[in-house]
Chains A and B, each alone.
Chain A
Amino acid sequence: MNYLLKRLLAVIPVLAVVAVIVFLLLHLAPGDPAVIIGGDTASAEDIERIRETLGLNRPLPEQFFHWVGQILQGNLGTSVFTGMPVAEMIMQRVEPTLWISALTMLFAVVFAVPMGIVAAWKAGTWFDRAISGLAVAAFSLPVFVIGYGLVYGFSTRLGWFPVQGFKSLSDGFVPFIRHLALPVISGGLIYMALLARMTRSTMLEVLGEDYIRTARAKGLSKRRLLLRHALKNAAVPIVTTIGLGIAMLLSGVIVTESVFAIPGIGRLTVDSILRRDYPVIQGIVLVTATAYVVINLVTDLLYGLFDPRIRY
């Protein structure tokens, strides 16, 4: 319990630093923050009103605490373009992004971990080399090139999947999966490569341990040896990589959404860049960073499940 509390409290400084960075980005960038928040179409009065409501004439620390106070109450500001609250705009777009992220993670873990285990077991063989080669290739191609390649092959040519768009789960499971299959594969390949490499290297390390030799000597089956003895001990670094890789995953999802015209957070990011809508981008940064921190907190707490030596 003590550990749990400590780990929970450790989240606060990280989020505080994220808030300071986002705040300083706006206030240290060249140009008047009120003009940036007001956007290109704002009149002199609009800008004066923004200055007044955000208190931009007051000293920086005071502004910061006022701003943080607003965020803690769930007020992420107002969009320059639509005039809607940023929090509401993000909530409207969150569903597709959550689905893609979750399915991408599932897809990557389901394929990458067995691939890594087999590659470690058969280290140095053609299978191992092929996995390493694929991983280097996945690291070398931008997500959208993979995405457009898949669209060209499987949608335009073969017609197996829709070219773009998103269907909610309430529209039926089959259309939902058909629309998400290609985005998940194209966004997941790089994450899969990362996980497969990590699984391979930690498994290699574990397989060199004495207790593995003992287990092998007493005649355990390959399956039992790999899954019970080796994987369980390799689980902690693998789970850590799954957590830390979330930042990479989210970056991939943001780009992928653009390729497949999926109305998620990524699409909102691109729209906001075009409209120079800084408050919305700021809100997206805060929300994704919080999600990242929370997910990593959860993976940290999961360690106990995989490694009974860790006690909280």
Chain B
Amino acid sequence: MDTPMIALLEQRLERLRKQPRAIRFAARNPVLVAGAFLLLGMLALAVFAPWIASHDPTEMNVVERLKPPSAEFLLGTDALGRDIFSRTLYGARVSLLVGVSVAMFSALIGIFVGTVAGFSRLADKLIMRVMDGMMAIPGILLAVALMTLIHASVATVVIAIALPEIPRVVRLVRSLVLTIREQPYIQAAQATGTRLPLVLIRHVIPNLMTPLIVQASFIWASAMIFEAYLSFLGAGTPPEVPSWGNMMAEGRSVVQLAFGIILYPGIALGLTVLAVNLVGDGLRDLLDPRIARKL
């Protein structure tokens, strides 16, 4: 290569070096960074809700019912005179809590069951048959059936939403384990006498993490929508919990009078789900460029 070419390259490199790493990262992963900022904003609103909220989210005020937005009630009031702005803020707590819990719960069960299926031929047949059956039931109906049988609380809602998500995680984990199992480093570990549980914990499960984190972020997003569906159908968190789903479910009867009761929590939910979806898309592009190019 002749000298001007090298000089040019060096110049370019110099310019790149001067650019802060954070900006370079953001320029390369705009989707991930945009999603992360939006999500951090929502998290901050949820965490600092008691300081930002202008009213107690459960305080009823019959005189002030169905008020339009004003200085006192930024987004107006609902049919019981509760402040929609404050309730939407507190709703972020429930929604995010349910979303994260469902993602972690289904991922944990999925890792366990999927790994067993991947390593044991006998269990594999049985497990995959059960998963096929679970996937044949529309997720909402499976959750609804469970919720009519058990006492409603935030914890039972998490279980009911996680249950239909489990087969998808199990399938992913199993297919990954089947590939990882044949890798030389696994055979080496086993050949040197490492016991199977240790092989799983040290070598198999860490290699599952990347695709699993991407999948978990999509489950997190869909779980928040699911929570709203369950509340909307009357099978969600108890009515006294100020969740976005409950707010929208209560708004149903007065939607013709005050569209805002459904609109504002709906926008909050939509933005939060969008943020998580963007983070998921961004993570997938960042961690696994092979899949990213396909989609």
Contact = CB atoms under 8 A, between A and B. Distances in A.
B93 to A, nearest CB: 18
A258 to B, nearest CB: 7
Interface in B225-256: 225, 228-229, 232-235, 248, 252, 255-256
B43 interface: no
A251 B266 contact: no
B45 interface: no
Interface stretch (A68-76, A138-146, A166-174, A214-222): A138-146
Contact of B229 (A148, A205, A251): A251
B294 A278 contact: no
B214 to A, nearest CB: 15
A98 interface: no
B145 interface: yes
Report the interface size class on chain A. Answer: 35 or more
Interface stretch (B17-25, B46-54, B59-67, B270-278): B270-278
A292 B138 contact: yes
Contacts of A282: 145
B145 A281 contact: yes
Contacts of A258: 232-233, 252
Interface stretch (A12-20, A110-118, A179-187, A299-307): A12-20
Interface stretch (B5-13, B146-154, B182-190, B205-213): B146-154
Nearest to B262: A148
Nearest to A276: B148
Question: Chain A at the B interface: mostly helix, strand, loop or mixed?
Answer: helix
A262 to B, nearest CB: 14
A4 interface: no
B149 A31 contact: yes
Interface stretch (B82-90, B126-134, B196-204): B126-134
A251 B161 CA distance: 13
Contacts of B129: 13-14, 17
Contacts, number: 157
A98 to B, nearest CB: 15
A254 B140 contact: yes
Nearest to A136: B277
Contacts of B273: 139-141
B135 interface: yes
B122 interface: no
Contacts of B147: 273
A136 B146 contact: no
Contacts of A20: 133
Contacts of B150: 29-30
B277 A25 contact: no
25 contacts: A14-B129, A14-B133, A15-B136, A18-B137, A21-B130, A25-B146, A30-B150, A139-B221, A140-B221, A140-B271, A140-B277, A142-B225, A142-B229, A144-B229, A145-B266, A145-B270, A148-B262, A149-B263, A204-B294, A247-B137, A251-B229, A255-B229, A278-B149, A281-B148, A288-B141
Interface of B: 129-130, 132-142, 144-151, 221, 225, 228-229, 232-235, 248, 252, 255-256, 259, 262-263, 266, 269-271, 273-274, 277-278, 281, 294-295
Given A26-B149, A142-B228, A269-B233, 17 more contacts: A14-B133, A15-B136, A142-B266, A142-B269, A144-B248, A151-B255, A152-B259, A163-B256, A204-B294, A248-B138, A251-B229, A269-B141, A273-B235, A274-B234, A281-B148, A288-B138, A293-B136
3 A-B pairs closest in CB distance: A17-B133, A145-B266, A29-B149
Interface of A: 13-18, 20-22, 25-26, 29-31, 36, 136-137, 139-145, 148-149, 151-152, 156, 163, 197, 201, 204-205, 247-248, 250-251, 254-255, 258, 269-270, 272-274, 276, 278, 281-282, 284-285, 288-289, 292-293
